[in-house]
C-alpha cells in the first residue's frame, strides 16, 4: 500500500516579520499618535496560512526565502514554535528578509500595512523540489514567487494535488495561476479587476470558466461566495467579539480551507470551518496570535448552532 503524504499542507510563498500597533486614529502628516499596544510576530500570506494549519493540529511545511538577518531568524523561530517544517525555508546569505509595519485602527480593527520586500529574492522554478512540494494532501500557493508559483500550480494540476491559491492584486502569471489551481480564493477587488466584470457573480463565473474546480471570493464582513459547476454558495461571516485586528484574517482563511481539504471536508463544511477560524483570529493583535486551536473552533461552531 502507498504511504500517506507526510504533510497535510505544504505552502509556497511569502514569509514576513511583522510589527503591529493599535492606534486610536490615523495621524495627519507631521503629527504623532500614541499606540495602545505593540506586537511582533510572523506574517506573510503563505507563512500565516501554514501557521494556521499547524495551530489547528495539521502537519505543514513552508517553502520560502528569508535573509540571514535578525528578522529572518525570528521568522524561522516562529515557524519552529508552531511545529511547521522549515526544511525548505531557504536562508539567503547577506540578504534581508521581508518586513512589515501594520497600523491597526482601534475602533474598527482594520489595518494599514507598510512593507519592504527585502533582498532575499524570489524562487526560480528550478530551485524547488517538485516531489517535496507535492508530498502533501493539499498545496497552498500565494503570488509572492510568481514564476515559481505558476510552475507549482501546473505541477499540482498534473499530479492531481488540490491547490489553494491566494492572490491579492493582479500581476504577471495570474492567468496561469487561476487556470491551474483547483481552489483560487481571492478578495472581491482582485476578482473584479482580474476579470473586468462589474459584479461578483459574473466575476466568479468568469474565473471558474478558466479551469478551477471551486472559486471563492471573499468580501470581509459580507462573508464569501463559492462558485462551482453546480452553482453558487454563500457563507456569511461569523460574528465574534471583540474584533481587535483583522490583519491576517484572509491568510488564516486560506490555511484553514487548505487544511479542511486535507481532512476531506465538503465545500459547505469547509467554508464554515475556514470562516470560523478567520473570525476567531480577529480576537487578538496580529495575524498569528489569535489563531485558534481545533478545540476552540469546534466549541465556537457548536455555539453558532
Least confident stretch, 173-187, 197-211, 239-253, 263-277: 239-253
Instruction: Over range 105-122, report the average pLDDT.
Output: 93
Report the predicted TM-score, pTM, of the whole model to 2 decimal places: 0.95
- Give the orientation angle of helix 200-208 with respect to helix 188-195, to 10 degrees: 70
Residue 282 pLDDT grade (very low, low, confident, very high; cuts 50, 70, 90): very high
- Rounded to 10°, the helix 249-263/45-55 angle is 50
Cβ–Cβ under 8 Å, residues 154 and 174: no
Does the pLDDT at position 242 exceed 80? yes
The predicted structure's pLDDT at residue 193: 97
pLDDT at 2: 60
Whether residue 1 has pLDDT greater than 70 = no
Report the pLDDT value the prediction gives residue 129, as an integer from 0 to 100: 96
pLDDT of residue 284: 94
CB-CB contact of 113 with 250 (8 Å) = no
Residue-level pLDDT at 38: 93
Task: Tell whether the model's pLDDT for residue 4 goes beyond 80.
Answer: no
Return the CATH number of 7-304, one of 3.40.1190.20, 3.30.70.600, 3.10.20.30, 3.40.50.720. Answer: 3.40.1190.20
Classify the phi-psi angles of 289: left when phi > 0, otherwise alpha if psi is within -120 to 50, otherwise beta.
Answer: alpha
Percent of the chain with pLDDT over 90: 90
pLDDT value at residue 5? 83
Contacts of 29 (CB under 8 A, 6+ apart): none
pLDDT higher for 123 or 27? 123
**pLDDT in the model for residue 221:** 87
Q: Which residue has the higher pLDDT, 98 or 26?
A: 98
Strands laid side by side in the 163-166 sheet: 89-92, 60-67, 7-12, 136-142, 163-166, 183-187, 215-218, 224-228, 231-235
User: b/e for 109-142, b at 16 or more Cβ within 10 A?
Assistant: bebeeeeeebebeebeeeebeeebbbbbbbbbbb
In whole numbers, what is the pLDDT of the chain averaged over residues? 95
Written as nine digits, the cell of 249 is: 484574517
- pLDDT over 70 at 147, yes or no: yes
User: What average pLDDT score do residues 194-223 get?
Assistant: 96
Identify the pLDDT of residue 83.
97
pLDDT in tens, 40-57: 999 999 999 999 999 999
Confidence label for 303 from pLDDT (cuts 50, 70 and 90): very high
Higher pLDDT, 3 or 286: 286
- Mean pLDDT, rounded, for 17-46: 93
Q: Is the pLDDT of residue 111 over 70?
A: yes
Question: What pLDDT is recorded for position 25?
Answer: 87
User: How sure is the predictor about 79, in pLDDT bands with cuts at 50, 70 and 90?
Assistant: very high
Residue 27's pLDDT is: 87
At residue 110, the pLDDT reads 86
Amino acid at each position: 500500500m502507498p504511504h500517506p503524504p507526510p504533510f497535510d499542507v505544504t505552502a509556497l510563498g511569502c514569509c514576513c516579520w511583522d510589527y503591529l500597533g493599535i492606534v486610536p486614529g490615523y495621524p495627519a502628516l507631521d503629527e504623532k499618535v500614541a499606540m495602545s499596544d505593540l506586537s511582533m510576530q510572523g506574517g506573510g500570506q503563505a507563512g500565516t496560512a501554514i501557521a494556521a494549519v499547524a495551530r489547528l493540529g495539521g502537519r505543514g511545511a513552508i517553502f520560502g526565502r528569508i535573509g540571514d538577518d535578525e528578522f529572518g531568524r525570528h521568522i524561522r523561530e516562529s515557524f519552529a514554535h508552531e511545529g511547521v517544517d522549515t526544511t525548505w525555508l531557504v536562508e539567503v546569505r547577506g540578504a534581508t528578509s521581508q518586513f512589515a509595519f501594520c497600523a491597526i485602527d482601534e475602533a474598527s480593527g482594520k489595518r494599514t500595512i507598510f512593507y519592504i520586500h527585502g533582498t532575499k529574492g524570489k524562487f526560480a522554478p528550478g530551485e524547488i523540489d517538485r516531489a517535496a512540494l507535492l508530498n502533501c494532501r493539499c498545496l497552498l500557493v500565494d503570488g509572492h514567487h510568481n514564476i515559481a508559483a505558476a510552475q507549482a500550480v501546473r505541477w499540482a494540476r498534473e499530479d492531481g494535488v488540490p491547490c489553494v491559491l491566494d492572490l491579492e492584486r493582479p500581476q504577471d502569471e495570474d492567468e496561469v495561476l487561476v487556470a491551474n489551481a483547483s481552489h483560487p480564493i481571492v478578495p472581491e477587488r482582485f476578482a473584479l479587476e482580474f476579470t473586468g466584470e462589474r459584479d461578483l457573480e459574473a466575476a466568479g463565473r468568469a474565473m471558474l470558466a478558466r479551469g478551477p474546480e471551486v472559486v471563492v471570493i471573499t468580501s470581509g464582513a459580507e462573508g464569501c461566495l463559492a462558485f462551482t459547476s453546480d452553482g453558487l454558495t454563500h457563507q456569511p461571516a461569523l460574528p465574534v467579539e471583540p474584533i481587535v485586528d483583522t490583519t491576517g484574517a484572509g491568510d488564516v482563511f486560506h490555511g484553514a480551507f487548505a487544511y479542511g481539504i486535507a481532512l476531506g471536508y465538503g465545500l459547505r463544511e469547509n467554508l464554515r470551518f475556514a470562516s470560523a477560524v478567520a473570525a476567531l483570529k480577529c480576537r487578538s493583535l496580529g495575524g498569528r496570535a489569535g489563531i485558534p486551536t481545533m478545540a476552540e473552533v469546534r466549541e465556537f461552531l457548536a455555539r453558532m448552532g
